Amino acid sequence: MTKIYPSEIRGKELEESASTTATSLTVWKKSSMSFVGTDGFSAYDGEGRLAFRVDNYSRRSKYLLGELVLMDAVGKPLFHLRPKFLSMHDEWRGYKGDAGSDSAPHFFSMRRRSLVQRKGEQSVDVFMRVAAKVADLRIEGCFRKRCCKILGREGQLLARISPKKASQPSVALGGDVFELCVEAGVAAELVMAFIVIMDRIC
């Protein structure tokens, strides 16, 4: 747990949910609530069971949207994800579980590393401590092409996303379906929260 959580307390909070083996999820950028005009995410485990979801939000401006809620399969809130208004670096903050009130301290924050990004590449810093000056994690690669890595402070690989390959060559999956691989000891719901925010930042 120490490779992703700089705080021992926060590591213990998610210890029960961190797998002792690598986790592979298939992520579909589509709400499990298939209403017209809605958007979201659905993530499925290796057995095809729904693991995480973000339901029923529109593609409106983030300033009008307010927040996104990452839930488990039965609808229990795992993280409330909110944009920080008037942020030059497109900062977002994640609040754990039901602690989503404005007065609650955020669990993590994410923001673009620089105002100017090279074409086809995104670099995002993740801070696991309030008011931290140095990023604890970083996300590098091209999210639009579904080719990103989440790296620890020492550069160790924690998770990666890649295009999903169909079992049959004749089937085209497209960019809305991709694979998320999470290394052992890393909480998959935390990484999924990062993915949801990356979609908005990019």
Return the CATH number of 8-201, one of 3.30.390.10, 2.40.160.200, 1.10.3720.10, 2.30.40.10.
Answer: 2.40.160.200
Give me the tens of pLDDT residue by residue for the chain, a chain 202 residues long: 334 444 444 545 555 567 788 999 999 988 776 555 567 899 999 999 999 999 866 666 555 667 899 999 999 999 999 998 877 788 999 999 876 556 678 899 999 987 666 666 789 999 998 888 899 999 999 999 999 999 999 999 999 999 998 777 756 678 889 999 999 999 999 999 999 999 988 8
Quick: pLDDT tens for 53-91: 998 666 665 556 678 999 999 999 999 999 988 777 889
Q: HSE of 108 in the Cβ direction (CA atoms, 13 Å)? A: 28
For residues 202 and 108, what is the distance between their CA atoms, to the nearest angstrom? 19
Q: What is the pTM of this model?
A: 0.85
144-162 burial string, b = 16+ CB within 10 Å, else e? Answer: eebbbebbbeeeeebbbbe
Pairing of strands 77-83, 137-142: unpaired
